[in-house]
Amino acid sequence: MDDHIFHSSFALTLTMTKTLAIVQIVCLFTLLFSLPPFCFNAFSEHQEAKPETKSIVDRFIDWLNQTGRMYENRDEWNLRFGIYQSNVVLVDFINSLNFPYKLTDNVFADLTSQEFRSKYFGYKMNNNYTSEPHSNSTFLPFKLPPIIDWRNRGAVNPVKNQGQCGSCWAFSAVAAIEGITKIKTGKLLSLSEQELVDCDVHSDNEGCSGGYMEKAYEYIKKNGGITTEKDYAYTGKDGKCKTKKLKNHAAKISGYKTMHNTDESVLEAAVSRQPVSVAIDASGSEFQLYSSGVFTGDCGNSLNHGVTIVGYGVEKGVKYWLVRNSWGSKWGSHGYIKMQRHSSNEGGMCGIAMRASYPEI
């Protein structure tokens, strides 16, 4: 796809996103004072809606049934309906355009982008942090395979769900370690994010309050390894470190390498050898509501979320990174997103090439 098409798409969606903020305020004000007293959850009968809102009300009722979402009272129901309605405006508008990706009213469709960021992000970039850099000569030169999908090679576990805990950094690091452990030993283990959340708290990492992947690698190397998820189960909240569990080393790493503001061709070379942890800017409403296709939408490079690249490829002529998220399988394409590769954005699409790292065994 030509670069000028992506520039036009970016400008158009950015304008639409800003406009939706105004639409949302108007919708909420109108709804709070004029919406009929509908039921507060999807399982109660609701009063007849006005003809002009019947379609969106029914769509919201269906969404409530599908997600099992329930609200405390009428005011909360009206508020969430207004937010849902404004998000649906964005979904329908983007899907009406000839973009290589689609949106949907997913499980996060009743949240504003600000609410979403506060609940599900947790990457904390430390600009003063120094670590052992990756050398471009580590992987190059050699001919890269045109397509890589580490899922097909048994090096990726099913998508996990961090819940409302800013532990994305732990999930990103663990997924990369699970991958390289499988590649080197032939064993795919499900390792413990909760050990990192509870125990890796004496550095810059702060459990559900955020952290970053390099510090997680340092902790695991210093501790002599990390235990399994079965041994130290995920709770989705900060807890007291279970020190007796720390001696159960299911997987070990010898170190790690970082790639900051790297060329995407070098990042491709790294991903061709193993899954790689990256930080991205996932704060846009389009990212929140992503469903399928190659994402080329509105995002910046203010890194706020840790994910793992588990492959790359091409779809309908658009190159993409295959990214494993930690928001459960009901988000995106069964928990994954395809993000444009070699985009014209500085630092890559959503800053994906700005802060990458990978563990070594």
Q: Cα dihedral sign for 90, 93, 96, 101?
A: negative
- The yes-or-no answer on residue 168 being catalytic is yes
| CA–CA gap between residue 49 and residue 31 (Å, rounded) | 12
Q: Cα dihedral sign for 265, 293, 181, 253?
A: positive
Full DSSP string of 157-172: PPP-B--SSS-HHHHH
Q: Of these residues, 168, 199, 208, 350, which one is catalytic? A: 168
| CA–CA gap between residue 286 and residue 302 (Å, rounded) | 16
- Whether the CB-CB separation of 100 and 315 falls below 8 Å is answered with yes
Q: Of these residues, 301, 305, 345, 350, which one is catalytic? A: 305
Provide the Cα torsion 113, 11, 314, 347; round to 10°.
Answer: -80
Tell me the CA distances in angstroms from 198 to 210, 242, 348, one per residue in order. 12, 8, 33
Residue 350, amino acid: C
Residue 189, amino acid: L
- The yes-or-no answer on residue 127 being catalytic is no
Q: φ and ψ at 156, to 5 degrees?
A: -135, 130
- The yes-or-no answer on residue 325 being catalytic is yes
Q: Of these residues, 87, 106, 304, 325, which one is catalytic? A: 325
- Whether the CB-CB separation of 45 and 103 falls below 8 Å is answered with no
Tokens of 219: 């902790």
Count of Cβ atoms closer than 10 Å to residue 321 Cβ: 31
Pairing of strands 336-340, 318-324: antiparallel
User: Which residues are known catalytic residues?
Assistant: 168, 305, 325
